[in-house]
Structure 1
Amino acid sequence: MEQIKHFHIPVRGLSLHVAEIGLGPKVVLFLHGFPEIWYTWRHQMKAVADAGYRAIAIDFRGYGLSDQPPEPEEGTFMDLVEDVIGLLDALTIDKVFVVGKDFGAVPAYLVAVLHPQRVHGVVTLGVPFMLPGPSSFQADHFPRGFYVLRWQEPGRAEADFGRLDVKTVIRNIYILFSGSELPAANDNQEIMDLVDASTPLPTWFSEEDLAEYASLYEKSGFRYPLQVPYRTMTKDLGITNPKVEAPALLVIGEKDYILKFSGMEDYIRGGLVKYFVPNLDIAYIAEGGHFVHEQSPEKVNDLILSFLKKQEI
């Protein structure tokens, strides 16, 4: 990791933390999910840099080493989209490949929808094209104790997380999200209660990895991450009939609990997602879970690099 350089850059009134490796003329921009941070892309950044690309990963505003916005509860996905464009402008980068994981897929695709001239192609892991808005996440399609519904309640996750240190919260979420079932609590439980303290970390996620994540979330806390994505995902962004014209790739693990979302499997496997992303290829990783890029980095790296090289032809 010592080859990756770190710096801060002013974007839209905030200082964003940037990690970078590689000097290639083509740029790959990585956008993390939750409970992730720039570090989640450590395997992919090195792989694309070794293949001749310039790899950039950021901590979103309100995450890790990036600044907190002045009014976190006002945040929406559009802030992340505008931050990406502001970052590209600040770094004088005309056009990029965008790679998004988990909720990072949302701004990745929205940049391609709203600023198509800035995007060579889009890769998303675990989450297909989804437009935030009232119909994007319907509560009656999920168990009452589903983690997203719990975390949308103001104060509930704060109280739940606040019983534990930050490192334990990240540990619990990583363990919970690594499973293949929808994470949901009973009426007499909170989400943190779903993980037994004796449960080991996934074999592909080390204590050193956990410590890196924890140190960054200890700096930022969870105030903004609970707003974006969870408490803003049903906010209408005013975008109608979106289309992603850029070539795209969706990589999804067959054991990712996201596939248990109501209608998700039909949306992906049935090809409905291609209404919004016509030039989409879909790759499945048989044993892959929600963190497929950390669990099977070589497979994911090969898929990403194959996609990038295909666009060079």
Structure 2
Amino acid sequence: MTCLVKVFLVGKDFGASPAYLFSILHPERVLGVITLGVPYAPAPPGPSMLHKYLPEGFYMLRWKEPGRAEADFGRFDAKTVVRNVYILFSRSELPIANENQEIMDLVDPDTPLPSWFTEEDLSIYGALYEKSGFRTALQVPYRTVSDDLKLADTVVKVPTLLIMGGKDYVFKFPGIEDLIKSEKAKEFVPNLEVTFIPEGTHFVQEQFPEQVNQLILAFLAKNS
């Protein structure tokens, strides 16, 4: 007799997409989905949609272009790239460069790290990316995000928890704040809970690990 194992899935940022997708394709295998920083949207924004609402210098459009981010990142060591990413994406503004800049140029070299991200953290992360490079980190989300998966059913039916930092730059994406803070999201995720951590940024799980862990544990207990 085969025992069917059911799981909870947890995804952060672009990791939310495969979690949502797996729950749609295999709902019988999933007890619940927990995501941080990115709500579910059945049709992810493609380049034409992003170009419609955001300028050419928007980071996703720049990094979708093969070779551009590689050239931008290649001017620095891996540790500096990670440092700049943490500074940029812990802000509440969308990273947008002008025509004379690349995305890495948006960070002043004298800008301090966020208080919750230590030099030790940076050294560990930098060493990991020194070994792996940034190719996969660019290819998987930025250059595949608009792929059409042609799903027959696009509704996430399992219990779902979305944890958002109140100062997350994702709220500045066109239509995202309205989607999250209204009932629209429940058209696609009927059994959805949304929790906001007011001072959190896009790295809310690193800023407030204990609070995020308690939210996750409570969701697991409720839906086990």
Task: Pick the aligned partner of 2:163 from 233, 251, 257.
Answer: 251
* Structure 1: segments with no counterpart, 5+ residues: 1-91
Tell me if 1:122 matches 2:122.
no
Deviations 1:135-154 (A, max 9, x none): 59532111321100100111
Judging changes above 3 Å, is the alpha-carbon distance between structure 1 residues 134 and 281 closer, same or farther for their aligned structure 2 residues?
A: closer
Identity between Structure 1 and Structure 2 (%): 62
Other structure's SS at 1:179 match: coil
Match of 1:213 in 2: 125
Q: Distance in 1 between matches of 2:149 and 2:50?
A: 17
- Equivalent AA in structure 2 for residue 156 of structure 1: R
Match of 1:204 in 2: 116
Judging changes above 3 Å, is the alpha-carbon distance between structure 1 residues 271 and 135 closer, same or farther for their aligned structure 2 residues?
A: farther
- Which structure has the highest helix share of the two? 2
RMSD after superposition: 1.6
Judging changes above 3 Å, is the alpha-carbon distance between structure 1 residues 194 and 93 closer, same or farther for their aligned structure 2 residues?
A: farther
**Residue 179 of structure 1: how far off its partner (Å):** 0.1
Query: How does 1:233-248 map onto structure 2 within 5 Å?
Result: 233-248=145-160
Return the TM-score normalized by structure 1. Answer: 0.68
How many residue pairs end up in the alignment? 221
* Contact map agreement 1:161 1:169 (CA 8 A) in 2: yes
**Residue 234 of structure 1: how far off its partner (Å):** 1.1
Task: Pick the aligned partner of 2:176 from 264, 284, 302.
Answer: 264
Task: Pick the aligned partner of 1:182 from 80, 94, 110.
Answer: 94
Judging changes above 3 Å, is the alpha-carbon distance between structure 1 residues 141 and 222 closer, same or farther for their aligned structure 2 residues?
A: same
* Contact map agreement 1:100 1:124 (CA 8 A) in 2: yes
* Contact map agreement 1:113 1:244 (CA 8 A) in 2: yes
Match of 1:289 in 2: 201
Tell me if 1:109 matches 2:30.
no
**Residue 241 of structure 1: how far off its partner (Å):** 3.4
**Residue 208 of structure 1: how far off its partner (Å):** 1.2
Q: Distance in 2 between matches of 1:211 and 1:272?
A: 41
- Equivalent AA in structure 2 for residue 228 of structure 1: V
Match of 2:62 in 1: 150
Deviations 1:105-148 (A, max 9, x none): 00111110111122110010010113455659532111321100
Other structure's SS at 1:199 match: coil
Deviations 1:211-252 (A, max 9, x none): 121121112111122111001111111113311111010010
Other structure's SS at 2:174 match: coil
* Contact map agreement 1:253 1:287 (CA 8 A) in 2: yes
Judging changes above 3 Å, is the alpha-carbon distance between structure 1 residues 132 and 222 closer, same or farther for their aligned structure 2 residues?
A: farther
Deviations 1:49-77 (A, max 9, x none): xxxxxxxxxxxxxxxxxxxxxxxxxxxxx
Return the TM-score normalized by structure 2. Answer: 0.94
Deviations 1:72-95 (A, max 9, x none): xxxxxxxxxxxxxxxxxxxx9822
Match of 1:274 in 2: 186
Other structure's SS at 1:138 match: helix
**Residue 275 of structure 1: how far off its partner (Å):** 1.2
* Contact map agreement 2:9 2:30 (CA 8 A) in 1: yes
Q: Distance in 2 between matches of 1:229 and 1:182?
A: 17
* Contact map agreement 1:96 1:121 (CA 8 A) in 2: yes
Q: Distance in 2 between matches of 1:274 and 1:268?
A: 9
- Which structure has the highest strand share of the two? 1
Other structure's SS at 1:210 match: helix
Judging changes above 3 Å, is the alpha-carbon distance between structure 1 residues 113 and 187 closer, same or farther for their aligned structure 2 residues?
A: same
Tell me if 1:310 matches 2:222.
yes
* Contact map agreement 1:132 1:233 (CA 8 A) in 2: no
**Residue 299 of structure 1: how far off its partner (Å):** 1.4
- Equivalent AA in structure 2 for residue 164 of structure 1: F
Kindly report structure 1 stretches of 4+ aligned residues shifted beyond 4 Å.
Answer: 132-137
